[in-house]
């Protein structure tokens, strides 16, 4: 009864302090906000969803939850793949999806100021109108939001050359775990005053604060890219080609790996006329201007051929090249049509890519699990996709065992458990194995300082003794 009374008091307060329509309590609606896209990650039942539209509404929501001791789980578009936005029982889900203003694009300073609900692709389109470019481009760019990209330090196809979200976040406005609205960072090209609290917030997955505004660095629009495609009979040969490109001193603007399972799934869905003759396709691009671009494309093609490609060519058909990269972006939703997909996000040193791909192949055989592969291969960020038949419990257990084996093998090769999707719920054990108890203690100390009541996205990333989702 006490919990019910607290819930009623809280929802009544939120309804008084926020505009009409912001607070949603209908179970049929709130259940739709209870989890992200992470397969088999547990989640609980929120008591309410708040669809905030302003920073002040976020601040009021956080303060109300603090005063009632109710957890807050921040959510963007819900496209995450680690369970980082999954509700815990009795929480308020604070959705920033309606905070969609692009407040400023400054061509002189090359920066943009946006609210967290701005969709990545919408920002890129707006920047292009000013001759500018926002590089981070996750495969979910058409759906994922800048707030979620910042929360997970998202990457994408361009990261091999241009870096990840953290490299473009100049400043943030956010609500702290004590209910204060603060600004950190800068708008200047340089600045080293104080600790890097902006960098600390990027990748914190909603556990240290609720982001309400982001100031982003932009780049000039880049020249057209040259595309190189390589077809391989072996995923290990494709991995050798990746290592060869790096050894040749070429930094491509994209270097993506897509296997036959992914291409077949995309073609069955979108009927794009994709070839599935090769086991693996490597897609390389260079945006170096002038003759340097031609030279880099030729080097990549030669690296592909020398590593064992059955077919390697510089594309002269832009439509065909764009179709292959579009297939790369559509691989995950296409595979979801086949059954539940458990998505990995390991990253290994570039020189270890061939060995890691070989180990993934062996893990698939050992656990009798279908593993399709896509990868930001140029920076060693691999996304094995573990596919299981629906409602097959034994297959689910085998896939989960394979998932943990892949993490262990990545760490054994000097890699990390997550390159861009975040720790969330699925990678907490892997994080502990990766960083060790001393560093975990430092992480908990930061959490204690910025969220002393442990109400911001509890149970994610740095776990304490508090109940997890649904417990």
Per residue in 328-371, pLDDT tens?
Answer: 889 989 999 989 999 999 999 999 999 999 999 999 999 999 99
**How do residues 438-462 score in pLDDT, each as one tens digit?**
999 999 999 999 999 999 999 999 8
Residue 244 has pLDDT above 50, yes or no: yes
Tokens 């920033």 -> residue: 96
pLDDT score for 327: 87
d(C-alpha 286, C-alpha 379), whole Å: 14
Residue 278 has pLDDT above 90, yes or no: no
pLDDT score for 128: 97
pLDDT score for 315: 85
| DSSP-derived 3-state class of residue 394 | helix
pTM score, whole prediction:
0.94
Q: Which of 212, 191, 171, 186 is nearest to 59 (CA)?
A: 212
d(C-alpha 67, C-alpha 225), whole Å: 54
**How do residues 47-87 score in pLDDT, each as one tens digit?**
999 999 999 999 999 999 999 999 999 999 999 999 999 99
Domains of the chain (ranges plus CATH)?
2-98 (3.30.43.10), 102-220 (3.30.465.10), 226-412 (3.40.462.10)
What average pLDDT is seen over the chain? 94
Residue 200 has pLDDT above 60, yes or no: yes
Residue 242 has pLDDT above 80, yes or no: yes
**Mean pLDDT, residues 215-241:** 95
**Mean pLDDT, residues 224-232:** 93
Residue 117 has pLDDT above 50, yes or no: yes
| DSSP-derived 3-state class of residue 127 | helix
Rounded to the nearest 10 degrees, the angle between the axes of helix 393-412 and helix 353-366 is 150
d(C-alpha 352, C-alpha 185), whole Å: 36
pLDDT score for 467: 42
**Mean pLDDT, residues 26-30:** 95
Residue 1 has pLDDT above 50, yes or no: no
Which residues 6+ apart lie within 8 Å of 432 measured at CB? Answer: 440
Please, which contacts does 309-312 make with residues 24 or more away whose CB atoms are closer than 8 Å?
Answer: 309/230, 309/231, 309/232, 309/237, 309/241, 309/282, 310/231, 310/232, 310/233, 310/278, 311/229, 311/230, 311/231, 311/278, 312/228, 312/229, 312/230, 312/231
d(C-alpha 102, C-alpha 113), whole Å: 6
Buried-exposed string 118-149: b where 16+ CB fall within 10 A, e elsewhere: bbbbbbbebbeeeebbbbbbbbbbebbbbbbb
Residue 318 has pLDDT above 60, yes or no: yes
């Amino acid at each position: 009864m006490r919990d019910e009374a607290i819930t009623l008091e809280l929802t009544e307060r939120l309804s008084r302090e926020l505009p009409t329509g912001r607070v949603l309590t209908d179970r049929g609606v709130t259940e739709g906000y209870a989890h992200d896209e992470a397969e088999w990650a547990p989640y609980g039942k929120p008591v309410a969803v708040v669809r905030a539209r302003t920073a002040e509404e976020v601040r009021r929501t956080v303060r109300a939850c603090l005063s009632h001791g109710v957890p807050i789980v921040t959510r963007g578009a819900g496209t995450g793949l680690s369970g980082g936005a999954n509700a815990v029982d009795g929480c308020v889900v604070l959705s920033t999806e309606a905070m969609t203003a692009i407040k400023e694009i400054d061509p002189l300073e090359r920066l943009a100021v946006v609210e967290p609900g701005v969709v990545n692709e919408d920002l890129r389109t707006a920047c292009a109108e000013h001759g500018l470019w926002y590089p981070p481009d996750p495969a979910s760019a058409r759906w994922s939001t800048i707030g979620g990209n910042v929360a997970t330090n998202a990457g994408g196809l361009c990261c091999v050359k241009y870096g990840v979200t953290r490299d473009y976040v100049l400043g943030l406005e956010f609500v702290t775990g004590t209910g204060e609205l603060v600004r950190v960072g800068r708008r200047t090209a340089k600045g080293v005053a104080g600790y890097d609290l902006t960098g600390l917030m990027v990748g914190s997955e909603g556990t240290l604060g609720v982001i309400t505004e982001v100031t982003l660095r932009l780049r000039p629009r880049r020249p057209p890219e040259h595309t190189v495609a390589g077809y391989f009979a072996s995923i290990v040969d494709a991995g050798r080609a990746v290592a060869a490109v790096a050894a040749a001193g070429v930094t491509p603007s994209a270097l993506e790996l897509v296997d036959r399972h992914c291409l077949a799934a995309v073609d069955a869905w979108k009927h794009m006329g994709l070839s599935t003759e090769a086991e693996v396709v490597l897609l390389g691009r260079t945006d170096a201007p002038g003759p340097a671009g031609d030279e880099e494309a030729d080097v990549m093609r030669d690296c592909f051929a020398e590593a064992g490609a059955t077919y390697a060519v510089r594309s002269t058909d832009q439509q065909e090249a764009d179709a292959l990269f579009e297939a790369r972006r559509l691989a995950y939703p296409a595979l979801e049509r086949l059954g539940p997909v458990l998505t990995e996000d390991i990253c290994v040193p570039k020189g270890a890519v061939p060995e890691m791909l070989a180990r993934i192949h062996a893990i698939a055989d050992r656990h009798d699990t279908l593993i399709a592969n896509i990868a930001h291969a140029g920076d060693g960020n691999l996304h094995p996709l573990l596919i299981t038949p629906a409602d097959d419990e034994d297959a689910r257990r085998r896939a989960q065992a394979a998932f943990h084996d892949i993490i262990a093998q990545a760490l054994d090769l000097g890699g990390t458990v997550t390159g861009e999707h975040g720790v969330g719920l699925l990678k907490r054990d892997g994080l502990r194995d990766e960083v060790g108890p001393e560093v975990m203690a430092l992480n908990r100390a930061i959490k204690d300082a910025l969220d002393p009541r442990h109400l911001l996205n509890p149970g994610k990333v740095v776990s304490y003794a508090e109940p997890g989702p649904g417990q």
